Amino acid sequence: MRKEPRQARSRATVETIVEAGARILSNEGWAGFTTNRVAELAGVSIGSLYQYFPDKLTLVDAIRSQHLDDSMAAMRSLPAGEITPADFAVRLVEAVVAAHSVHPGLHRVLLDEAPSSEEYRNPESKFEIEYLSYFANAIATHGNRSPNAADQIAGRVLSDAIDGVIHNAARRGAIHDQAMHKELVRLITLYLGATGQVLGDS
């Protein structure tokens, strides 16, 4: 960001802009996301927007950062161990669905459509790493071991699979479909229960 806002008023302005941007990004996609529209929805002049965000990329990065922070916070608050795979899966799906409820399209737009400064693009980004290790950890925990290389990969596959299901549901406006939730839970539970086993060993 161009300028760290010192005063409370400025901080509020920045938040308003980020929130307006998130709403537009979610509802209209990257194509409908114009700086003038964001400023208008936020109720500030276009000049003010550029006071806080030197360009569009910086703004979208701020929105992304905010969104990923929120998502990670939701995941971190989940209990990792001390819980059966089935219960964990239920809580996980709840958390992911909740994270997508505020701005249903936002996650996908931020990851797929919107361009981003290097920081978020590469697979080594702070968020990717934390996100991934969260899943690797969960898998290892339910396999009663500490995370190994295979768990990293399994974690990625699991998180991407969940992402795919949720994302496509969001696209159809069916993010709260209970039957879908149940099936997704079943998929996760199966995977968690069986990871690390050589297939067919059960």
Give SS3 for 48: helix
Q: How far is the CB of 7 from a copy of itself (least distance, A)?
A: 13
Six-digit token string for 64: 């992304």
- 161 near a copy of itself, judged by CB under 8 A: yes
The interface mask with a copy of itself, positions 42-81, x = CB under 8 A, is ----------------------------------------
Place of tokens 């693009």: 121
Name which of 76 and 121 has its Cβ closer to DNA: 121
- With CB under 5 to 8 Å by kind, the binding choice for 5 among a copy of itself, DNA, none is DNA
User: Least CB distance from residue 12 to DNA, whole Å?
Assistant: 7
117 touches DNA by CB under 7 A:
no
- Euclidean distance between CA atoms 89 and 189, whole angstroms: 6
Give Dmax (Cα) for the chain: 64
Looking only at residues 26 through 55 of this chain, which bind DNA when binding is defined by CB under 7 A?
33-36, 44-48, 50-51, 54-55
Per CB under 8 A, 8 contacts a copy of itself: no
C-alpha 7/C-alpha 24 separation (Å) is 26
Contact of residue 171 among DNA, a copy of itself, none (CB under 5-8 Å per partner type): a copy of itself
Among a copy of itself, DNA, none, the one that 54 touches (CB under a kind-dependent 5 to 8 A) is DNA
User: Do the Cβ atoms of 116 and 99 come closer than 8 Å?
Assistant: no
CA angle 92–96–101, rounded 5-degree value: 145
Taking residue 2's Cβ as centre, other Cβ atoms within 10 Å add up to: 11
11 belongs to the binding site for a copy of itself (CB under 8 A): no
* Side chain identity, residue 112: D
| Near a copy of itself in 141-160, by CB under 8 A | 150, 153-154, 156-158, 160
Closest Cα partner for 141 from 88, 72, 96, 190?
A: 88
